Amino acid sequence: MTNVYVMEKIPEKIIIPLKQHDGCLCTPLVSKGDMVAMGQKIGECECYDSASIHSSVCGEVISIEEAANPNGTKVNSVIIQPTEDVECVDFTPVKDVSASKLVDVIKDAGIVEHYGTPTHKVLKPEGKQIDTVLINATSSEWIGGHYDTSAQYAFQMIGALKLLMKAAGASKGAVVLRNDDLESISAFDHLRVDGKLLTVAPLMGKRKLSYYFKDQGSDIIVVSQERIYGQKILDLLTYNLTGRRVSFCCDPTDVGVAICGVKSAKALYDAVHEGRPYIETVVSVSGKVNSPKKILVKIGTPFKDVIDACGGYMGDTGKLIANGAVTGVAQYTDDVPVTKMTTSITVLSADEVIRDVSIDCTHCARCVDVCPVDLIPSRITAFADQGRFDECRQMNILNCVECGRCSAVCPSKIHLLQLIRYAKNSIENAYEDLSSKESPANLKLGCGCSGGN
């Protein structure tokens, strides 16, 4: 079981961005000079696709200004100077709430998926019906340590899954584990849910979740599959698990699947059973720091303080990366705060910084061999480089999960991931104002999602 350390030291200042999700900016509820308590709501969401922001410490608001954000931009943030005495909002557990109320609880607790979408929007998307809720635990190693025992972890996960299903009004739910994560698998194995014994079923061959639901005769199941990772894995995960293909411009909710992370499931469980909003998160710190570890920090803690808590930088520091060395964003300053979307911090030394020069593609097909979604990255990249985005689309570029493996193995050091992202963004931008384009005409150019199955 991985140990998770709790960051004891309160940093000098806490930077809480008013936008920690994909969506619109929250309006601040406090102004300069106000005293805030821990857990107090400081940002109110006005539209449906945003989530509330809470203060993670008790202190004085010293300013509300544009501050650096780990995604590379600047975001309006509330900057709080913590005080000595800790004043905390009374957390009231919400028991036995109705499904519609539960969505409001999620929204008020400010729960956001690590990929950016607010959880309530994943569960109750406007105009769509969710029938299956998945908790994706394939990339979460830290979770064991957040609980006293692994049985507690399994128990709470199932509890959270039930809550998620209730909130979404979904009839079926599954927890997805990783094949080689034996600790979690043994935690879930032989767990009793509603009187039924759970067995972790590895996904085999072409069998999809529907088979396992029927096989186990249960609406809640636990399955395991191979590790997949990347920035945009949701479509692939949906296809792997349910066999439903997500069309262009759509997300898994269009085919009736809601995918949640372990972190948000845990946050929901806490929100319901303890009344605690989403103000703490576990970050794994790795690379060239003196004592790499997984650490529980308050949201808004600057990276600098997190790294100090891990023993400080080791030697010459070259790069500071949020969210993983393969697909993460390199930071230009360590004054950026940990947000709800931050999962890890990686520090690279100066001589680990890659300074390769790209040469021509030699068609060695190494990228083809590693691609998890069977693309031809070399060819797509050549098209993207020439701006031939339609051809990229014909070659299924939108299936790309942005895992970065093609770039990592390229002997010619071509920036494949960057070029693929460029093409994907260009394609998405071209379709952004699609509805306004198509409305006066009789043509229907929609994406053709049938809403499930």
Partner 1 sequence: MTFTISAPPHKKENITFKKIMWAKVLALMPVVLLSVYLFGLPAIGLVAASIFAAIATEAAIQKAFGQKITIADGHAVLIGLMVAMIIPPEVPLWIPMIGTVFAVGIGKHAFGGIGSYIFNPVLAAWIFLSLAWGSIMAPASYPQTSVLFELVLENGAGVMAGVSPFFILLAGAVLIFRRYIEWRIPVAFFVTTVLLAFLLGDSLSYVVLGVVVFGVLFIATDTSTSPTTKNGRVIYGIVCGVLVVVYGHFANYVDGTFYGLFLANCVASLIDNNTLPASYGTETFLQRKYRSIVSKMPFKDRLEVFLDD
Judged by CB under 8 A, the chain residues 335 through 354 that form the site for partner 1 are: 346, 348, 352-354
Give per-residue burial for 152-180: e unless 16+ CB within 10 Å, then b.
Answer: ebbbbbbbbbbbbbbbbbbebbbbbbbee
Nearer to partner 1, 270 or 334 (CB): 334
Q: Encoding tokens for residue 156?
A: 């709470």
- What residues are designated binding site? 361, 364, 367, 371, 400, 403, 406, 410
Q: Which residue has the tokens 């319901």?
A: 272
Q: Residue 260 forms beta bridges with which residues?
A: 135
- Sheet with 53-54, strands from edge to edge, namely 27-28, 41-44, 53-54
Determine whether 69 is exposed, middle or buried from the number of CB atoms within 10 Å of its CB (0-12, 13-18, 19+): buried
Annotated binding site for [4Fe-4S] cluster: 361, 364, 367, 371, 400, 403, 406, 410
Q: Does 182 bind partner 1 (CB under 8 A)?
A: no
Is residue 405 part of the contact set for partner 1 (CB under 8 A)?
Answer: yes
Helix locations, 119-223, DSSP H? 119-123, 143-146, 150-168, 182-188, 209-216
CB of 412 to partner 1, least distance (A): 6
* Contact string 267-296 vs partner 1 (x = CB under 8 A): -------------------x----------
Burial call 196-209: b when 16+ CB within 10 Å, e when fewer? eebbbbebeeeebb
Number of residues that bind partner 1 (CB under 8 A): 62
445 binds partner 1 (CB under 8 A): no
The reply to whether 424 sits near partner 1 by the rule CB under 8 A is no
* Choice between 48 and 422, CB closer to partner 1: 422
By beta-carbon proximity to partner 1, the closer residue of 104 and 402 is 402
Neighbours of 35 (CB within 10 A): 13
* In contact, 407 and 420? CB cutoff 8 Å: no
Q: Binding to partner 1 by residue 176, rule CB under 8 A?
A: no
What is the rounded distance in angstroms from the CA atom of residue 158 to the CA atom of residue 420? 37
Which of 192, 363, 437, 446 touches partner 1 (CB under 8 A)?
Answer: 363
Binding site for partner 1 (CB under 8 A): 72, 139, 205, 229, 236, 239, 245, 286, 313, 317-321, 324-334, 346, 348, 352-354, 356, 359-366, 368-369, 373-376, 378-379, 395-396, 399, 404-405, 407-413, 415, 417-418
